[in-house]
Structure 1
């Protein structure tokens, strides 16, 4: 059905278009921006006119790296984060309230924020229950803490060897402590009961309003799988139930090796839900001391983290990605992990020509050579500025102050010519509202953590650039067609803010809220208390 033309006037529109960054009016026809510019140029317009009331308008936010299904499922678990949990004692108290579940689950702890300064172990969690299995996921998503019952169900004991790419923490007697790192998590996670397709889709659909309330109009899932059920089927069912975002899925390579499901249909970018890439992990996390780093972690000369892939596996996955015209997407935080990727592909031809063939997710500590070579090859970096903001205690403890200030060197990346997109990695960060893009923008602009710690003045960027990395920059890297800018011929996905992000002090950016979100020119979210007469 053809929509009538409508004109939006009296807006302070930031377009993210390099050629014409600002406008005050736009005409939208059939969900597409037909014209944008100065309203004084418009004469004899026939159609509805909407007054933006001199408010700031931005293109819809594109979160280039997140985990919506995990975010949706975590909403049903115990949040082990401030402002409720500040200690393992608090955590035990909160977990005790989940006594009606077969498996007791929690998420989001960061030992840097806990009074005890350590991860919960099986003895701690046994105080909650020795009958029911308990799994608490660390903020990074790479480490879990479990109780004795969960260890027993998974068959983990003193004699269980560490799996490839993983580690079972042990006490001085060699007994498992209940802390499982990287692939060792799967020994327990694979034993957990699975939600049904219907339950997963319903939880995803319930996220829709929250995402729109944050101005997010395009989402990604960086941990897609085809088992025990296919993510593309889950998201398709969620769409039937009311999920209306643009969605790009990135499938885990270890699953695709077993069942190579990519085809022309499910990788077609014209589909609102499609597969955009093949995902691997090259290491773990900085905050969990499992990133593959050089030099070692502070206070542990023999701990350089965990390497979780190889040159051969990278080349094999890249060949499959190339055959299917999708990206190779690799999680890498430490210097050695990033170097492995960059050096493996240095000098090799890209296979995608309207965006990056290779994405490095997080890219916390790239060496100067890795930055130079990535820029030369068009490799993209996808950092999360909220990490330094929210997890500063762990970064200082694991890297020290000087090294922390050089992590996520966004300004250096951009100056070198590397394609960059911002994202949240939600829910994999120690923040009560992990998906909020305005927290990320504030962090990137100020380089100051939530507690006031300076995280590196030299890598500050301006507000305009930060918004572009959440819009135009994220579009280039995710390759979602015709979004990320308010420009003729592009989709009219945009948001209206309660305060002008260019006029508030940088320290107040995280206080900005979204008053209205539009998809294809249609109002899909209106903040409570705001007049519907837009």
Structure 2
């Protein structure tokens, strides 16, 4: 690796900077000076910079390297970007970082390009391989877990059943989670452990599917699945759930996220996140949003604008409907051509009643609690917007920043309502890649599929928006999020709704500054400006300079939290170096408490 400063030029620079620096500048010695690559600030006033200096975990100065040398001292570290590109650390607009560890620690049942499952047989084989490699964990939990199957990507175009899973193991309970997180399939042992029989009452907002013999066939939808999953995971120890949190935080950091979200938590999950953070097991910031239908007193007692060991309770989460690709999102019209046994005119269903939605939104507005609401279908968004309109009329305007999560099938009049009601849209353009072809052919049809995740409509109105991965629905792959937002290219190569595409800089703002605004943190994060937190991501190339079709090939090579490296790819930039006094040798040193992966 090349050295940032040549000894002779460095000596001259030190002399000149000492001579010309003001007394104030000379007294403020930087901890680190970053230079040697492209720096994208996401600050419209000065979008690019040659160098950046930090002090005590915050940004001290941004600008020409010659100016920043005034802050150079004997203890200053020089971080050579080595031609790579530095941006603000990504801010997670919506994801589930604690439960994201479930994805990291379970059998990978994803379809290409993220996995190898293409049919029921390859799903079974993936489970068998995972079982062979994880027998100790299986014995401890008496449970086999797989994550990420998607019936739309299986050759059979159906969910696996208990019979398919019994062929893998008839004795040990198996639960596999659909990529959307809204469905699951269980084997006979898991159904027995969860006490699901043909006599089990079907919970409101959920479905238990049955076979021709009248017995449950193993496929569970929405609230029926959530209840069964909770029962089955109940055998996992507290330390096991802590492992989820640690693995999730590490996974997020590997994709450049310095602020993560746990987007639907119970008080118990929030407590686990706090414990792990206190133990030093989470290097990123985590904003937790407990379920508003579970424990409102907990939310009121614990919400905070400040982090404690990197974790804070940001507000509340409400879920109105389910999965668009799974046909459980609540539409305002029938699904186009759904695959399965659906009645004529089937339009999905709500997992929360209209009364629950109105009550939850009214409570949030009355108590000035930020509320994030999962609404995918047009019918669900209608419920949300009506409730927000009524709550604002009842309690008056305030800077509450309610957030619509997903909004896959928004109508254009609903985007107008989002603007009028000051609702922040956190959209899911990764759907254009993963399920764009499915939406075109099965869920909404070729005309309406052009407008899923309508970032173009939002920008036409001058609105900010966030983009997300909803991990563990997909990997928290920041470059896949960026690519999908800019290109809207599907797995088959189709471009879905070219008029909804946005430029690269707009897409980057949705992952940084605007997502920071969503979390009330725009004064602290999201752009490289003096005084903000020193959270950075270093990419293998400049996303504003590469061919948009190559955005998904860019790699995160390092992630830096408060000026401390928390992730480094094997081919990442050189470690920071101490800037030596004249006449001394250059010492290679790692950042304090940094780790190399």
TM-score if structure 2 supplies the norm length? Answer: 0.82
Equivalent residue in structure 1 for 2:259, among 218, 241, 254? 218
Partner of 2:549: 507
Deviations 1:363-419 (A, max 9, x none): 101122211111011101111222221223432322223222211011101222443
Secondary structure of 2:298's counterpart equals: coil
1:278 equivalenced with 2:307 (yes/no): no
Which of 191, 197, 204 lines up with 2:238 in the alignment?
197
Alignment partner of 1:188 is 2:228: yes
Aligned mates of 1:91, 1:198 — CA distance in 2: 28
Pairwise mapping of residues 393-412 of structure 1 onto structure 2 (< 5 A)? 393-395=437-439, 396-412=441-457
Indicate the structure with greater helix content.
Answer: 2
1:464 Cα offset (Å): 0.4
Which of residues 187, 211, 217 is equivalent to 1:147? 187
Residues 215-249 of structure 1 deviation map (CA, whole Å, 9 limit, x = unaligned): 111100012112xx342343332442331211100
Q: Secondary structure at the match of 1:177?
A: strand
Residue 255 and residue 500 in structure 1: after superposition, are their counterparts in 2 closer, same or farther (change >3 A)?
A: same
Mapped to 2, the partners of 1:303 and 1:33 lie a distance apart of 54
Alignment partners' CA distance in 2, 1:211 and 1:380: 23
- Which residue of 1 is the match for residue 306 of structure 2? 269
Paired residue for 2:61, among 35, 42, 49? 35
Distance 1:417 1:529, change over 3 A: closer
Gaps (5+ residues) in structure 2?
1-27, 339-343, 578-597
Contact 1:442 1:506 in 2 (8 A): yes
1:441 aligns to 2:482 (yes or no): yes
Q: Which residue of 2 aligns with 1:90?
A: 122
Hey, what does 1:473 align to over in structure 2?
514
Preserved CA contact (<8 Å) 2:362 2:388: no
1:487 aligns with 2:529: yes
Aligned match of 1:26: 52
1:249 match: 288
Q: Does 1:78 align with 2:107?
A: yes
Contact 1:355 1:477 in 2 (8 A): no
| Partner residue of 1:425 out of 461, 465, 470 | 470
Asked if residue 357 in structure 1 is aligned to residue 401 in structure 2, the reply is yes
Q: Deviations over 1:108-138 (max 9, x none)?
A: 0111111111111122122223322221111
Deviation readout 1:90-118 (Å, 9 max, x if unpaired): 11223234274222221101111111111
Question: How many Å separate the matches in 1 of 2:173 and 2:301?
Answer: 42
In 1, Cα distance between the equivalents of 2:367 and 2:332? 34
* C-alpha distance 392-368 of structure 1, shift in aligned 2 (>3 A): closer
Aligned residues: 525
Give the alignment of 1:232-247 within 5 angstroms. Answer: 232-247=271-286
Specify whether residues 377 and 519 from structure 1 end up closer, same or farther in structure 2 by C-alpha distance, changes over 3 A only. Answer: same
2:42 aligns to what SS in structure 1?
coil
Equivalent position of 1:288 in the other structure: 326
Structure 1 CA distance for aligned equivalents of residues 190 and 29 of structure 2: 55
SS in 2 for 1:466: helix
Deviation at 1:209, TM superposition (A): 4.0
Equivalent position SS for 1:140 = coil
Structure showing greater radius of gyration is 2
Deviates more, 1:115-124 or 1:292-301: 292-301
> What is aligned with 2:565?
523
C-alpha distance 166-418 of structure 1, shift in aligned 2 (>3 A): farther
Deviation sequence 1:117-165 (CA, Å, 0-9, x none): 1111122122223322221111100011112222233333334343111
Residues 353 and 22 of structure 1: is their aligned pair in 2 closer, same or farther, counting only changes over 3 Å? farther
> Counterpart of 1:109?
149
SS of residue in 2 equivalent to 1:117: coil
Tell me which moved more, 186-195 or 77-86: 186-195
Candidates 175, 178, 194, aligned match of 1:135:
175
Q: 1:175 to 1:418 in 2, by over 3 A?
A: farther
> Which stretch of structure 1 is more off in the superposition, 170-179 or 404-413?
170-179
Distance 2:292 2:391 in 1: 20
Give, in angstroms, the shift of residue 58 of structure 1: 0.8
CA distance in 2, matches of 1:106, 1:516: 29
More displaced 10-residue stretch of structure 1: 293-302 or 453-462: 293-302
CA distance in 2, matches of 1:265, 1:489: 27
Structure 1 position 291, deviation (Å): 0.4
Among 362, 375, 397, the alignment partner of 1:332 is 375
The Cα RMSD (Å) is 2.4
Does structure 2 conserve the Cα–Cα contact (< 8 Å) formed by 1:15 and 1:59? yes
The TM-score with structure 1 as length reference comes to 0.92
Give, in angstroms, the shift of residue 263 of structure 1. Answer: 4.2
Q: How far off its partner does 1:191 sit? A: 2.4
